[in-house]
Structure 1
Amino acid sequence: MNIEQYGWNEEWKMKWNEKLQQLEARILEPGRIVGDFGSKYRVTASTGEIWGELSGKLRHSLSGSGEYPAVGDWVALAMQDGGEHAVIHGVLPRRSVISRKVAGVTQEEQIVASNVDTLFLVSALNDDFNVRRMERYLIMAWNSGANPVILLTKADLCTDAADKIAEMQLAAPGVAVHAVSALLGDGRDELLPYIGRGQTVALTGSSGCGKSTMVNWLSGQNLQLTQDIREGDSRGRHTTTHRELFVLPDGGIIVDTPGMRELQLWEDDGGLNLAFGDISTLAADCRFSDCRHVREEGCAVLEAVASGVLDEKRLLNYRKTQKELLFQNSKEVKQKRKTAAASVKGTPPRAKGNSWQRVLEEY
């Protein structure tokens, strides 16, 4: 097994040498997590794919779900049983982290994938096509440190693909948008620059958008199960139930993730302004530096809406998302995270009183 096939390079060797100095003296070797199954992981190492689990010391040192190893992580392994099993003693510093808030009211970070170079944001060209939802995915992508690329799948089912591509490009300035059809084999060549040797891409999007089909198409194999979407609402069923990493014939590495029914954003690291760059640019001309773009006089953003330069729905989504991220960064939420981190390992404590959605509405 050649771990260079999974993206191991000089940069990771340097991080590996630094990490070894932090760990106790022992015989360790690098590996990359290719599957997350909860309490256990599938890890690729020099001996091939094996099962791995956290050492007791490492598990005890982790204070939140966001610190646990994730698919795409490079880890330090101590081999057991002749290389058929491994114990994970450490995680190398990440280059990028794709994360979101866990579903429900629990204030915990969920890592979707790590060390990803390009994040494919997948949306189907059917009745599930949703520009406003894509704006939220773009915020997650820009916050991650990965390069976002929008894939519009199932182009063979769409009679106005050109119009929808233009609509998506308007909502995602500076982001590449590709319409593809796995059924017809259209658009694969456009994706080759992203899946070259040593590059890691991840797929994310709502259920039924065609992520698993994309994995099979790009790999030339039936690596992932697929299911038809439901008739009537164009929504899909959850096919992928866990995160998993595969090596592509072009030399790239691809991560498939379960479909998301909803995307609750984690903390913002500039992703909001990048995803809504046009609004940020307009806001520079507002009369007041703290303009909220609601009813203020001299608001350049509201003037752009009135003149038809800016879509009002885009501004409304910006306000809603901004409010959500402000809440996520509030003292109340930060205190809940500290409480959860200090609690005994296990299920994090659930928020008491108002639900997350109700508190957000009142914020």
Structure 2
Amino acid sequence: MGNTAVVVGGGIGGLAAAIGLSRIGWAVTVVERASILEDAGAGISLAANGLRALDELGVGEAVRDASRGQYSGGTRTPQGGWLARMDGSALEKAVGTPIMGIPRSTLHRLLRDSLPAESILIGSEAVSVEQVGPGTVRVSCGDTVLNADLVVAADGIGSTARGRLFPAHPGPVYSGSTVLRAITEHPVDLHTDFELTWGRGAEFGHIAFPDGRAEWHAVLSLPAGTRFADPLAELRRRFHSWHDPIPALLDATRPASVLHHDVNELRTPLPSYAVGRIALLGDAAHAMTPHLGQGACQALEDAVTLAAALATGPTVEAALARYDTERRPRSQAVARAARQAGRMGQQLSHPLAVALRNTAMRLTPSRAAVRMILRHHDWTPPQVS
């Protein structure tokens, strides 16, 4: 088996894959098209499965130290009534950890710090990925050409590699939701670690960080491409009557900090996550809606599973076949569940349907809610030697 790899994409999944491959003795080069690593994004929640993957990669402790556990909070109505309470202690008892909240920029930095600086090529866009021989894959980045025994395409939902490998696949589609998010400029007086509030066709949530600041997000059911001249002013208009601390979170935000992205997904599942010596990973393989908070966690699972398969497989092709067999069913099932969660949560708009959903949530015992969460969170990683 070979021992050189190129990872296309320097996001969470790509960096995690590079760490995993390095831990099994591979020489890895990460190709990132951004010329400046700005770590775009606001905050992220990491569930037990993602944290266990990070433990296997050797960075779990550092990530936990920089995170805040989500012990309190839950789901509310715009008027402030509780639909479901979060029992972080019960979840910790069941899987060994609460969900942890961390800024994306911090997670990116911790992952990068686990790799040699010279292994990350920034400002290098992979314009083509092709298998040029029985044991060689070539990545062309303008004037730079990299030959390797393996290529990991972690180049996101708009993956160029995926389009070349599966030209007949319809690619990503709009989910019906658009999201605006930011991190507050200064600490905010919060009484919970995590909250979601569901209105009709709208959601507002926050994640508290160790330094007292918070990430907030607003998800709206709007036509694709909808944009606002003043996003923060628009959100204040839409959410001014919603319960505290929603107005306070918006007031603590600089207008320039607000990010706005349409939520796209791979609604048509891929037939495989590997072709020859090219593996797809993370959003390139299974981009999903954010309604379960599992996108990054599934990418981290991918990274660990790929490294473990390559550590023991007799050939690269055999290892990638094992990776595909282990990862595709689970990640695609999680993607389906995330889509359904959105339909029953933020995207629900009919008054009667919202009332029935809210009643069902209030009547659901906390134990049953924990069991539903464990379906996705309780994952045991393979060992990465």
* Higher RCO, Cα 8 Å, sep 6+: 2
TM-score, scaled to structure 1: 0.26
Q: Which has the larger radius of gyration?
A: 1
